[in-house]
Amino acid sequence: MSQGWIVAGLVALAWYVSVPETVVYHGSRVARLPVEPTRNVLEAEIDRAADAYGLRRAVLRALVRVESAFNPWAVSPVGARGIAQIMPINASRCGLPDASKLWDATYNLRCGAQILREELDQHGDLFRALTVYNCGRVKCLEGQRYANKVISLSKVF
């Protein structure tokens, strides 16, 4: 009888180990368990968000690298949160019920991709869209430097 439980446990363990880590990550999110996404999971989520919003994957990956260095817990001096550095006021813009959802890397990435897509549609130019993403307006020297950095880095990814 106890051997049956051992075999069942080993089968469950083998299944868990063979499941892609993105499935484990999303399963934990659905179950509302604390989960720290790995770099592989983050990159897969970046690709999904970029594809969902019609962005080049390399651009979104470069944006994340510049914004947070792939740190889902990053906080800027002005209060932007998470991997894509979203200001809490923008949570509602992305359809999130509250800003606490910005700590979830998937929601944060999707929100960042949505905002970049909206800015790209409005301004028609990646440089301008990235400038606005960074500082909220087109004529902003800091935002222009940021846009140049993201665009340059996207060529490496």
In this structure, is the dihedral angle defined by the CA atoms of residues 125, 127, 128 and 133, taken in order, positive or negative? positive
Q: At what angle do helices 105-123 and 39-52 cross, to 10 degrees?
A: 30
pTM for this structure? 0.80
71 and 31 in a single domain? The answer is no
CATH number at residue 70: 1.10.530.10
Region of poorest pLDDT, from 14-18, 48-52, 64-68, 84-88: 14-18
Top mean pLDDT of 4-13, 34-43, 100-109 is at 100-109
pLDDT given for residue 104 in this prediction: 92
The two tokens of residue 156 are 């490496």
pLDDT given for residue 134 in this prediction: 97
Neighbour count for residue 106 (Cβ, 10 Å): 19
The residues with which 75 forms a beta bridge, in sequence order, are 81
43 and 14 in a single domain? The answer is no
Per-residue pLDDT, averaged over 84-93, amounts to 96
Per-residue pLDDT, averaged over 51-58, amounts to 98
Structural domain for 30, as ranges: 1-35
In total, how many domains does the chain have?
Answer: 2
122 and 52 in a single domain? The answer is yes
Do residues 41 and 21 touch, judged by C-beta distance below 8 A? Answer: yes
- Please indicate whether residue 118 is annotated as part of the active site: no
How remote is the C-alpha of 156 from its chain's centroid? 19
Of residues 67, 118, 119, 142, which has the active-site annotation? 67
98 and 135 in a single domain? The answer is yes
Per-residue pLDDT, averaged over 85-93, amounts to 96
pLDDT given for residue 7 in this prediction: 64
19 and 58 in a single domain? The answer is no
59 and 114 in a single domain? The answer is yes
pLDDT given for residue 126 in this prediction: 98
pLDDT given for residue 19 in this prediction: 52
Residue 27 has pLDDT above 80, yes or no: no
99 and 24 in a single domain? The answer is no
87 and 40 in a single domain? The answer is yes
120 and 87 in a single domain? The answer is yes
21 and 45 in a single domain? The answer is no
Residue 130 has pLDDT above 80, yes or no: yes
